[in-house]
Amino acid sequence: MAENDSFDPLVLPRLTAEDLVLRGFQDDDLDLIHEVSTDPLIPLITTVPADFSEQAGLAFIQRQRDRLTSREGYAFVIANASDDHPLGAIGVWIRDIARGRASVGYWLRSSARGRGAMTVALLAASEWAFETLGIVRLELYVEEWNGASWRTAEKAGFIREGLLRNWERIGGEWKAMYVYSKILAVGLGPI
């Protein structure tokens, strides 16, 4: 039986891409969570605690691991392959897997930005998702102002499909989001 047809916990793979590794969350990633808890955006679009404490940070890490048992999806840490230093996170969420769809979300700590690391991680996660999850569509959502994110999506081969008005409540306000996707095309593979 395929993994996605069962009620067993999902199994997070270890992926490598260029100088990066995508792996599971570990308790010693706490420093990463502490740093991004002060980011102006990340606590608003994730459950990273804005009010950081060791307990809240460890609870966040445990929640990411629990997404395997709840079968919500795969929460990867993006780390340097050389020393395992954590740079950020990327999640592949499979709530709509029965309809052939998954979605992806991502963030980096500020010191890891500006060198295209997320393009590499997004390409690796998308390739793995199409190869192993049996999906035909992978989507992501980006606010209009977030050029670094939508440019990352485009560099990783995602296509902008439109603007979804009042799509998500972020920081107490309803925000429009661009929807991007990559699809599996018969005979062509992911496009």
Ligand X SMILES: CC(C)(COP(=O)(O)OP(=O)(O)OC[C@H]1O[C@@H](n2cnc3c(N)ncnc32)[C@H](O)[C@@H]1OP(=O)(O)O)[C@@H](O)C(=O)NCCC(=O)NCCS
Task: For the CB of residue 109, give the shortest distance to ligand X in the complex, in Å.
Answer: 8
Q: Is 191 exposed, middle or buried (0-12, 13-18, 19+ CB in 10 A)?
A: exposed
Q: Does 179 bind ligand X (CB under 6 A)?
A: no
Decide whether 71 or 113 has the Cβ nearer to ligand X: 113
Distances from the Cα of 30 to the Cαs of 27, 48, 51, in angstroms? 6, 11, 14
Please name the residues in contact with 182: beta carbons below 8 A apart, sequence gap of 6 or more.
126, 130, 137, 138, 156, 157, 158, 159, 190, 191
Among positions 93, 106, 130, 178, the unique one binding ligand X when judged by CB under 6 A: 106
Taking CB under 6 A as the binding criterion, the range among 7-15, 37-45, 67-75, 93-101 that sits at the site for ligand X is 37-45
Decide whether 41 or 184 has the Cβ nearer to ligand X: 41
Give me 12's structure tokens: 């997070």
Q: Does 81 bind ligand X (CB under 6 A)?
A: no
Q: Does 116 bind ligand X (CB under 6 A)?
A: yes
Q: Does 108 bind ligand X (CB under 6 A)?
A: yes
Interatomic CA distance for residues 82 and 139, integer angstroms:
30
Interatomic CA distance for residues 43 and 9, integer angstroms:
27
Interatomic CA distance for residues 108 and 32, integer angstroms:
9
Q: Does 137 bind ligand X (CB under 6 A)?
A: no
Decide whether 40 or 187 has the Cβ nearer to ligand X: 40
Taking CB under 6 A as the binding criterion, the range among 23-31, 58-66, 125-133, 145-153 that sits at the site for ligand X is 145-153
Q: Does 26 bind ligand X (CB under 6 A)?
A: no
Residue closest to 119 by CA, chosen among 129, 108, 135: 108
Q: Does 142 bind ligand X (CB under 6 A)?
A: yes
Q: Does 22 bind ligand X (CB under 6 A)?
A: no
Residue closest to 152 by CA, chosen among 104, 112, 117: 117
Contacts to ligand X by CB under 6 A = 41-42, 45, 106-108, 113-119, 142, 146-149, 151-152
